[in-house]
Chain A
Amino acid sequence: MFGALLYLRLTSLRNTVLSRVRRLKQPKYLVGAIVGAGYFYLMFFRRMAAGRPPVHGPGAHGPVTVPPELLPTLLALGALILLVIVVLGWILPDQRAGLTFTEAEIAFLFPAPVRRRTLILYKLINSQVAIMFTAAIITLVTGSWGFLGGSALTHGIGWWFILATLNLHFMGASFAMTRLLDNGITPWRRRFAVLGLVALVALVTLAWLWRDLRAPAAADFESFRTAAAYLNTLLTSGPLPWLLRPAEFVVGPFFAPDTPAFLAALGPALLVFALHYIWVLRSEVSFEDASIAKSEKRAAKIAAVREGNWRAASGAIKARKPAFRLASTGRPEVAFLWKNLLSTFPIFRLGTLVTLALVILIGGLWIDVFPGYRGVQTGASAFALFMVAYTLFLGPQLARQDFRSDLLNTDILKTYPLRGWQVMLGQILTPVAILSSILWLALLILLLMVHFRQLAWLTPSLRLVIGLGLVPIVPVLCALQLLVPNAAALLFPAWAQTMRNRSERGIEMLGQRLIFIAGQLVVIVLALLPAAGGAALFIFITQHWIGLPAAVAVAAGGVVACLAAEVWCGLWLLGERFEKFDLSAELRP
Chain B
Amino acid sequence: MIEVTGLIKRYGAFTAVKELSFTVRPGEVLGLVGPNGAGKTTTLRCLAGIIPATAGTIHIAGQDLTADPVAAKRSLAFFPDEPRLFDYLTVRQHLAFVARIYGVAHHEDIAQPLLEELEIADKADQLPGELSRGMKQKLAIACGLLHAPSVMFFDEPLTGLDPLGIRRMKDSILKRARAGATVVLSSHLLHLLEEVCSHVLILKKGEKIADGTLADVSARFANGEANVSLEEIFIRATGGTES
A binds B: yes
Is A579 at the interface (CB under 8 A from chain B)?
yes
Residue in A320, A411, A416, A585 whose CB lies within 8 Å of B84: A411
A168 to B175, CA, bound (A): 63
In the bound complex, how far is the Cα of B73 from the Cα of A309, in angstroms?
Answer: 28
Q: Is the CB of A585 within 8 A of B97?
A: no
CA distance A412 to B77 in the complex (A): 10
C-beta contact mask, A407-432 vs B, less than 8 Å → 1, else 0?
A: 01111101111110000000000000
CB distance from B16 to the nearest CB of A (A): 9
Q: Verify B88–A328 contact, CB threshold 8 A.
A: no
Q: Which chain A residues border B125 with CB–CB below 8 Å?
A: 319
Q: Contact check, B88 vs A417: say whether CB atoms are below 8 A apart.
A: no
Complex Cα–Cα for A418 and B80 (A): 19
Instruction: List chain A residues, Cβ under 8 A from B49.
Output: 414-415
The interface stretch among B98-106, B166-174, B229-237 is B98-106
Are the C-beta atoms of A309 and B87 separated by less than 8 Å? yes
Docked Cα-Cα span, A579 to B11, in Å, equals 16
**Within 8 Å of chain B (Cβ to Cβ): is A330?**
yes
A56 partner residues in chain B, CB cutoff 8 A? none
Please determine whether A343 and B106 come into contact, CB atoms closer than 8 angstroms: no
Q: Is the CB of A342 within 8 A of B89?
A: yes
Q: Nearest chain-A residue to B71 (Cβ)?
A: A417
The answer to whether A342 and B88 touch (CB under 8 A), given A319-B126, A580-B52, is yes
Interface residue? B50 (CB, 8 A): yes
**Residues in chain B near residue A414, CB distance under 8 A:** 48-51
Question: What is the CA–CA distance of A303 and B51 in the complex, to the nearest angstrom?
Answer: 26
Are the C-beta atoms of B127 and A319 separated by less than 8 Å?
A: yes
Complex CA gap A318/B86 in Å reads 12
Query: Which A residues between 525 and 552 are near B, CB-CB below 8 angstroms?
Result: none
Question: Is the beta-carbon distance between A312 and B89 smaller than 8 angstroms?
Answer: no
A342–B87 CA distance with the chains assembled, in angstroms: 10
Asked whether A415 and B100 contact (CB < 8 A) given A311-B87, A342-B89, A585-B51, the answer is no
A328–B107 touching, CB < 8 Å:
yes
What's the Cα separation between A579 and B52 when bound, in Å? 8
A-B contact count (CB 8 A): 105
List the B side residues contacting A312 at CB < 8 Å. Answer: 87, 129
Set of chain B residues within 8 Å of A585, measured between Cβ atoms? 11, 51
B80: A residues at CB distance < 8 A:
411-412
A317 touches B50 (CB 8 A): no
**Min CB gap B146→A, angstroms:** 10
**Given A339-B89, A417-B73, A588-B11, A326–B50 Cβ distance below 8 Å?**
no
Kindly list chain A residues whose C-beta atoms are within 8 Å of the C-beta of B78.
411-412, 415
Chain B residues with CB under 8 A of A334:
100
Cβ-defined contact, A342 with B93, below 8 A? yes
Total contacting residues, chain B, CB less than 8 A: 38
A332 CB within 8 Å of chain B: yes
State which of A317, A418, A582, A588 has its C-beta within 8 Å of the C-beta of B88. Answer: A317
Which residue from B73, B84, B90, B97 sits with its C-beta under 8 Å from A338?
Answer: B97
Contact of A419 among B48, B70, B90, B104 (CB under 8 A): B70
CB atoms of B77 and A415 under 8 A apart: yes
Q: Which residues of B contact A50 (CB under 8 A)?
A: none
Residues on B with beta carbons closer than 8 Å to the beta carbon of A419:
70
Bound-state Cα–Cα, A525 to B160, Å: 50
Whether A332 touches B100, Cβ cut-off 8 Å, given contacts A319-B125, A409-B84, is yes
B87 touches A328 (CB 8 A): no
Q: Which residue of B lies closest to A300 (CB)?
A: B129
Mask: chain A, 334-349; 1 = CB below 8 Å from B; 0 = not? 1100110011000000
Task: Tell me, in angstroms, the Cα distance from A418 to B84 when the chains sit together.
Answer: 18
Give the contacts of B21-76 with A (CB-CB under 8 A). 45, 48-52, 69-71, 73-74, 76
Query: Would A328 and B97 be within 8 Å (CB), given that A318-B127, A417-B71, A579-B52 are in contact?
Result: no
Choice from A335, A406, A416 contacting B73 with Cβ under 8 Å: A416
User: Given contacts A319-B90, A319-B125, A343-B87, are A418 and B101 in contact (CB under 8 A)?
Assistant: yes
A406 to B105: give the CA distance in the assembly, Å. Answer: 26
A322 interface residue (CB < 8 Å to B):
yes
Partner of A330, one of B45, B71, B100: B100
Q: Determine if A18 is an interface residue (Cβ-Cβ < 8 Å).
A: no
- Report Cα–Cα, A358/B110, bound state, in Å: 42
A329 touches B (CB below 8 Å): yes
Contact in complex: B45, A411 (CB < 8 Å): yes
- Select from chain B the residue with minimum beta-carbon distance to A580: B52
The smallest C-beta distance from A429 to any residue of chain B, in angstroms, reads 13
Is B129 a contact of A317 with CB atoms below 8 Å? yes
**Are B48's CB and A415's CB within 8 A?**
yes
> Is there contact, CB below 8 Å, between B127 and A332?
no
Interface, chain B (partner A; CB < 8 A): 11, 45, 48-52, 69-71, 73-74, 76-78, 80, 84, 86-90, 93, 96-97, 99-107, 125-127, 129
Q: Contact residues of A with B, CB < 8 Å?
A: 309, 311-312, 317-320, 322, 326-330, 332, 334-335, 338-339, 342-343, 406, 408-412, 414-419, 579-580, 582, 584-585, 588
10 residue pairs, one from A and one from B, having the closest CB atoms:
A335-B100, A417-B73, A343-B88, A582-B51, A417-B74, A414-B50, A415-B78, A342-B88, A412-B84, A417-B70
A to B CB contacts below 8 Å, 13 in the list: A311-B88, A329-B105, A330-B100, A332-B100, A339-B86, A339-B93, A342-B89, A409-B84, A415-B48, A417-B70, A417-B74, A418-B101, A588-B11
